[in-house]
A and B are shown apart, each in its own frame.
Chain A
Amino acid sequence: MRELQDLADALINGYADRVSKLTNELLETGVEPQTILNEGLIAGMTVVGEKMRTGEMYLPEVLQSASAMHASLKLLKPHLVKEGVESRGKILMGTVKGDMHDIGKNLVGIMLQGAGFELVDLGLNVPPQKFVEAIGMHQPAVVGLSAMLTTTMLNMKTTIEAINNAGLRSKVKIIIGGAPVSQKFADDIGADGYARDAVKAVDKVKELLAA
């Protein structure tokens, strides 16, 4: 469908106003919100992720696309809820204690929402105990921990230990991400997975939930 491709293209180019306009037009013409989500937004963000991976797009451009996606999701969400479109799973995310960086986490959050997951975002500078309490309250399938500094990445380990000590470790999968961390670090601290970028984070969440 031509209009869905236009939506995906506008998203890739980061044109938030045009994405909102096209989303409204598609809804008005009776296109299923799930179709708009899958064939417009997710298709567009998949291209964005690929372009980021290959170095054709960088953070400023990706943020424009993410902002456009956010605008469209706001319009789609009431329709998705009304039609009873089920979430693919609940994800709890936060930047660990002592870390005030949240751009990466926010990008991952938008991509996950775009992929049909329900997101609970605890924000930045989140103490381990707050993660523990939020797991009890929201019962997510996956917990995402973000850190941008070599000092704060150590708080990922502390957070996983706190989840473990609370007896909740077996109830959730844990993924980590952020500039200083790696798969090796994830293995060392007992996380279930690591993702280098927002697209890979979505892939990793799907993989963990399918396992």
Chain B
Amino acid sequence: MPRLFRILNAIYLMNSRLLNACEGRASDRMPFLPAIYEQKAWFVHSTPSIVCRDPELFTQALLAEFEIVRPDALTIGIDVYNVEAEAVGARVIYYDGEDPSIPAVDPDGTIFHGEEDIVNLRLPDPQKDGRMPLHLGVARRVLAKLGNELPVRGAVTGPFSLAAHLVGAEHLFMLTITHPALVKKLLRFSLEVAKEYSAAYVKVGCGVVIFDSQASPEILSPAMYRTFVLEPTKRLIDFIHSLGLRHVPLIIGGNTTKILDAYLETGANNILCDFSADVERFREQCSVTGRAFRRNIDTADFLTLSREDLIARAKKCIDESRGYPGFIFGTGVVPFGTPVGHFAILRNVLHEYAR
């Protein structure tokens, strides 16, 4: 059966709006990809801590996301940066009862405290360790239901962000200056973890989306991005391409204009142009290199603007890139509890205004 899902999803992908955008072909309208992770739990009236550990609810949440939001792709992931770190041994905090907080790696539960710990790091088995098997199982179920409707992608943590979750972000940032060789060793390990998990997703018939927002130039300098992050990311994307996936998105939040050249050198086929980034430069450089980019509406605007103002903001966002076939319309991460009607506002703008 997985082989059948893979074939169906591959056939659908050939004609999806998202693939059209990645290959510079026009569609009936721009693709719509709001960033929905913890909000998935809201769709099934539960909490992120419960849904991310319950394969049945997790699957229902994705199906509900499809029905309510009608996005042009689904992403398997609620607490996307935790899964690999937990599978390697980091401790994740979950919240009880109705607490809607997002699970997070316990700052006291990281697994790398000093150079001697590097020998103890072991590659996880995606079929056995942590919640990797749960995520793969959810991917199979969602593919079975929706594999011929839209692309389904597994969330994979990029090498630098995974290292930050294994070591602790502040510790890792300090190590980039005090122990750069050690950071490179850690990144080689993170790369292998990401490769294992990506391969497992591809095997069940999914696409893959890489998330690496700890490598944002809001945090790391462009020079540091090149020194530490570019090579392992490029190797990861090359590897995923070698598995037969033609299109690999790489999501780095914040204003990434300063690293746009390196961002494109990773080989990612579609990238994120967050609301604070220079959309004109993204359009120019993506046009030259034949890439797609997702432009986000600021989450705060999404939440706080009146209906009329939100429509005007969405139209402005669309107008900025109208005519560029590689444009994908999205939002920043949608907070848990966002009223479902908000999605209809944006979708209607797309239907009426972005054809």
A residues apposed to B, CB below 8 Å: 14, 55, 58-61, 63-64, 67, 97-98, 100-103, 106, 124-125, 149-154, 179-182, 184-185, 188
Contacts and interface: CB of A to CB of B under 8 A. Distances in A.
Contact of A185 (B217, B221, B300): B300
Given A58-B220, A59-B219, A185 B304 contact: yes
A153 B102 CA distance: 12
A123 B269 CA distance: 40
B300 A60 contact: no
A108 B218 CA distance: 16
A60 B173 contact: yes
B107 A59 contact: no
Interface in B96-142: 99-102, 104-107
B280 interface: no
B185 interface: no
B105 A100 contact: yes
Contact of B300 (A14, A63, A103, A181): A181
B86 interface: no
Interface of B: 38, 93, 95, 99-102, 104-107, 169-170, 173-174, 176-178, 217-221, 224, 253-254, 258, 298-300, 303-304, 332-337
Given A151-B336, A185-B304, A98 B100 contact: yes
Contact of B101 (A59, A98, A102, A106): A98
Contact of B221 (A58, A67, A149): A58
Nearest to B174: A63
A179 B169 CA distance: 15
Contact of A100 (B38, B104, B258, B335): B104
Contact of B220 (A60, A97, A150): A60
Contacts of B102: 98, 149, 151-152
Contact of A103 (B99, B100, B169, B335): B169
Given A154-B335, A188-B304, A180 B258 contact: no
Contacts of A64: 174, 177-178
A59 B170 CA distance: 9
Contacts of A102: 107
Contacts of A182: 298, 300
A154 B219 CA distance: 23
Contact of A149 (B174, B178, B303, B333): B333
A150 B332 contact: yes
A59 B177 contact: no
Contacts of B170: 63, 103, 106
A124 B177 CA distance: 26
Contacts of B254: 179
30 contacts: A58-B217, A58-B220, A58-B224, A60-B176, A60-B177, A60-B219, A64-B174, A64-B178, A98-B99, A98-B101, A100-B107, A101-B169, A102-B107, A106-B170, A149-B333, A150-B332, A150-B333, A150-B335, A151-B102, A153-B300, A153-B335, A154-B335, A154-B337, A179-B218, A179-B253, A180-B299, A180-B300, A180-B332, A181-B300, A184-B304
Contact of B177 (A14, A55, A180, A185): A14
A31 to B, nearest CB: 29
Contacts of B95: 98
Nearest to A155: B101
A96 to B, nearest CB: 10
B258 to A, nearest CB: 7
Contacts of A152: 101-102
A17 to B, nearest CB: 12
A59 B164 CA distance: 14
Given A60-B220, A151-B335, 5 more contacts: A58-B219, A63-B174, A64-B177, A150-B333, A151-B102
Give the 8 A-B residue pairs with the shortest CB-CB distance, closest first: A98-B101, A100-B104, A151-B335, A58-B221, A60-B173, A150-B299, A150-B333, A59-B219
A180 B35 CA distance: 14
Contacts of A125: 101
Contacts of A124: 107
Nearest to A185: B300
Nearest to B213: A179
B177 to A, nearest CB: 5
Nearest to B173: A60
Given A60-B220, A185-B304, A150 B105 contact: no
A64 to B, nearest CB: 6
Nearest to A103: B170
A55 B219 CA distance: 10
A153 B217 CA distance: 21
Contact of A184 (B104, B218, B300, B335): B300
Given A98-B100, A150-B332, A60 B224 contact: yes
A18 to B, nearest CB: 14
A63 B93 CA distance: 26
A12 to B, nearest CB: 13
Nearest to A57: B221
A123 B232 CA distance: 34
Contacts of A188: 300, 304
B272 to A, nearest CB: 14
A60 B99 CA distance: 33
